[in-house]
Amino acid sequence: MKKVFFVPYTHLNEYVEINKSALLDAGYQVIPLNLKNAVCSLGKKRPIVVNWLEDRPYGSNFSPRVRFTTTIKCLFIAIFGALFCSRKIWIKHNFKPHNATGTFRYYKLITATLRRLNYRELSLEKYAGGGLFHPLYLPDDTLQKQEIELAGSEFEYLIFGAVKKYKGIHNILSIWPPGKKLSIFGKCNCQSYEKEILHIIEKRKLKVVWVNKYLTDEELNQELSKANFVVISHLDNTMISSGTFYHAVSFGCNIISSKSAFSTQKQNEHKFVHLISDNENQFDEFEKNYVNKELVKNEASKHYSRRCLSKRWQEILSNN
């Protein structure tokens, strides 16, 4: 079996493991880029795929020294790929690092190096250049067997994930219809932001239930299986793609989103994506245009399945 370097080899983001499995199905054994594998691969011209390389120096707890040494390591990875690998694939996930301010000099240096060394630049969304796509969070066979819960008398709205100010939840609550139920599942580690959210809920007398803790995957998936709509309100324009979107549609949820390049693209592609506007009756319109969960799941599977991802990897690694 052919081998391919995949950087990073492990990551908290499930995207990495999903792509490793898809590459295996495409006929490629994924191996980490370490000293042993690097030496053993000399002269064999194996492909290399790098993810988040330009973002790595900007860990939230990194000291200036660690940021510098991490940048050097990233440059070594880029140069190794240029000298000793056949196809060089760079998957660009963000427009800029999440935890950075100022001039982003390390980000710009690594980005410039990858381009100068002729890495093939791909992103997960068409509006940002495309070439690849974000997969669903459930395997194809699980999607087919998944039981879809029927909608009850009321539509269920859900926000999930870590509660941080850049996600704009306070803005959503400021326009949320008092008569509609909303569940928020996610931990807030900022005391002042927690107070701000609770103040809005209390002041506007909203029918909002906030479970201020981290859910297990099983707990979250259970909530998603019941929800009709998932609300995405990110203010942050650093990310090219939204994992929240793909997690939600894996369970057949419609999407309500603040307007962005990402959400506009998805609305043009899918009828189950609804954009927030200034219309006072917009939530009634969302419910009127609701797409049932089975149709959402089938359409998502058609475009973002693991099978489609494996096929795309075959195309990328077999063509220049």
Among residues 196, 153, 191, which one has the least CA distance to residue 287? 153
First to last CA, the chain: 20
Domains (range + CATH), the chain: 2-135+305-318 (3.40.50), 140-303 (3.40.50.2000)
Q: How much is the pTM?
A: 0.90
Question: What mean pLDDT comes out for the span 44-68?
Answer: 93
Q: Which residue has the tokens 């219809």?
A: 177
Q: What is the pLDDT of residues 151-179, one digit of tens each?
A: 556 899 999 999 988 888 999 999 999 99
Q: What is the pLDDT of residues 187-225, one digit of tens each?
A: 999 999 999 999 999 999 999 999 999 999 999 999 999
Average pLDDT, the chain: 92
Could you give the count of Cα atoms lying within 13 Å of 155 in the half-sphere of its Cβ?
24
Contact 118, 78 (CB under 8 A): no
Among residues 120, 15, 23, 8, which one has the least CA distance to residue 314? 23
